[in-house]
Amino acid sequence: MRAVSLFIVLLFLILTFSFMVSAYEETRNLSVILEGEEELIIEAKSGYLQIQQVDDTDQITVEAVIRVDTGEKRAREIIEKKLKLSLEKRKNRIYLYSYFHSDFFGDSIKKGIDLFVKLPAIKRVDITAGSGAISIDGLDTDLNLVDGSGKIEIRDCSGEWNIKDGSGKIEISDCSGDWIIDDGSGDIMINNMEGSLVLNDTSGGIDIYNFYGFIQLQDGSGPINLDGIEGDVVILEAGSGSLSLKNINGNVEK
């Protein structure tokens, strides 16, 4: 019995130690000063992306948390050889690159880079993201976003926005402007928005509440719920799934 207890304790210690050495993490900070009407272009393949507009600054700052699920020595080798992390200015464009170069035969070691971006008012933002959640807060500019997978949260933003998303939930609140969203799969929730919305959705539920402006929808499958719409609604295709329209103060075409 004592031998069994000792074996369990040793096994626990081994597993604990293995877990401790299996994930390496380091943080790097980047910054660049804005000098005019520059655009920010982001290419991020894997990891969490947070973008926040702040006042009283003329700099774009980036905190990058690099994660490699292996021991420190091996992780440092991978970072040295494969990491692409830079914030570069070229004429009127600023490029943020954040990814690991891929091996020809693939790589079983999990890697990712979480980005925390703070920026002043800027002319335009263009994002190409692979996988991982995205959070955008307080951005007052035009934006183009192409995303592979992961949840997208957008709050208190305005401008002309074009979003093309593969999969993952989309939540938008307290925003304004002219928006085009092309979504593959995942639920979409929009609350308290003003402007125009053109939404093409393949699958997943659509919930839109307290919208002030024009809406055009085309849906493949999943329930559609619209409530509290001050403006016209055009439903090109409702697809399969229930359709609920409440408190619509405008014309509805379907």
CB atoms within 10 A of CB 188: 22
Determine the Cα–Cα distance for residues 192 and 153; give it in Å rounded to an integer: 14
pTM above 0.85, yes or no: yes
212 vs 86, 171, 194, 234, CA distance in Å?
40, 17, 5, 14
Q: What is the pLDDT along the chain (254 residues), one digit of tens a residue?
A: 555 454 454 544 444 444 445 689 999 999 999 988 899 999 999 999 999 999 889 999 999 999 999 999 999 999 999 999 999 999 899 999 999 998 766 678 899 999 999 999 999 999 999 999 999 999 999 999 999 999 999 999 999 999 999 999 999 999 999 999 999 999 999 999 999 999 999 999 999 999 999 999 999 999 999 999 999 999 999 999 899 999 999 999 98
DSSP string computed for 114-140:
EEEEEE-S-SEEEEEEEES-EEEES-B
